[in-house]
Amino acid sequence: AQKITQTQPGMFVQEKEAVTLDCTYDTSDQSYGLFWYKQPSSGEMIFLIYQGSYDEQNATEGRYSLNFQKARKSANLVISASQLGDSAMYFCAMSPWGGSEKLVFGKGTKLTVNP
Amino acid sequence: GAGVSQSPSNKVTEKGKDVELRCDPISGHTALYWYRQSLGQGLEFLIYFQGNSAPDKSGLPSDRFSAERTGGSVSTLTIQRTQQEDSAVYLCASSPPPTNNEQFFGPGTRLTVL
């Protein structure tokens, strides 16, 4: 079975600073995908970034980067230059076979960006 | 609209009644997923469709829950004899072929069982 652990129920960051949201995972699969989604208070789930288990380079998408440490089974999300609009719930998820089949989600981290 | 749509956006029902939730995926997306988000359980996978078939329905919590997809497009999630613990936001997502990295989510249906 796959499991995602997000140990930070809430995080605070000052506007324009960087923040790291932690995610560790557990799986016996050799091939898997790791995802981060953002859920603002409006409720929609917004895809942020993807990392495949065989990707050697860390994924980056604009201000988002994924710090992938395969041996430690961690996939932390780094948000650079935080903005007030980044305040939201952030979910780490994985799919067992490296493609977009069912997603297993962590409990989420609530990020608050302070002005 | 180009996104995933779900209806209704809110549904209030009485315990014991049946409800149907609808999902319209993005045109051309062959994969469709249902998830449930509740305060106590977080986000849980319910069922996955590839075309009209459901190769993975392992997340359906009981036989009161069923889903179908017709024409490789619209999907309906049906909950029979609703219980209070069914109260949650039901999210639908779709993704394009081939197996893709990103699932596009709809806005969800908030179900309240009184």
Q: What is the mean pLDDT of residues A24-47?
A: 92
B91 at interface of A, judged by CB pairs closer than 8 A:
yes
> Is A102 within 8 Å of B104 when comparing Cβ atoms?
no
SS3 label, residue A114: strand
Burial grade of A46 (CB within 10 A; 0-12, 13-18, 19 or more): middle
CB-closest option in B95, B106, B108 to A100: B95
pLDDT in tens, B86-100: 999 999 999 887 665
CA distance B31 to chain A (A): 8
B34 at interface of A, judged by CB pairs closer than 8 A:
no
User: Looking at residue B1, what is its pLDDT?
Assistant: 55
User: Looking at residue A73, what is its pLDDT?
Assistant: 96
User: Looking at residue A107, what is its pLDDT?
Assistant: 95
User: Looking at residue B4, what is its pLDDT?
Assistant: 96
User: Looking at residue B114, what is its pLDDT?
Assistant: 96
Please say if the pLDDT value at position A66 is more than 60.
yes
User: Looking at residue B100, what is its pLDDT?
Assistant: 56
> Is A105 within 8 Å of B99 when comparing Cβ atoms?
no
User: Looking at residue B9, what is its pLDDT?
Assistant: 96
User: Looking at residue A99, what is its pLDDT?
Assistant: 47
Tell me the residue type at B59.
G
Query: Minimal Cα distance from B34: which residue of A?
Result: A102
Dihedral angle sign, alpha carbons of residues A68, A69, A74, A79: negative
User: Looking at residue A98, what is its pLDDT?
Assistant: 52
CB-closest option in B45, B98, B108 to A103: B45
User: Looking at residue B42, what is its pLDDT?
Assistant: 84
B101 at interface of A, judged by CB pairs closer than 8 A:
yes
User: Looking at residue B2, what is its pLDDT?
Assistant: 82
Among B10, B45, B85, B86, residue whose Cα is nearest residue A91: B45
* Sequence-ordered alpha helix ranges (H) in A13-61: none
Rounded alpha-carbon distances, angstroms, from residue B21 to A1, B15, B36, B74: 29, 16, 12, 11
Residue A97 half-sphere exposure toward CB, CA atoms < 13 A: 6
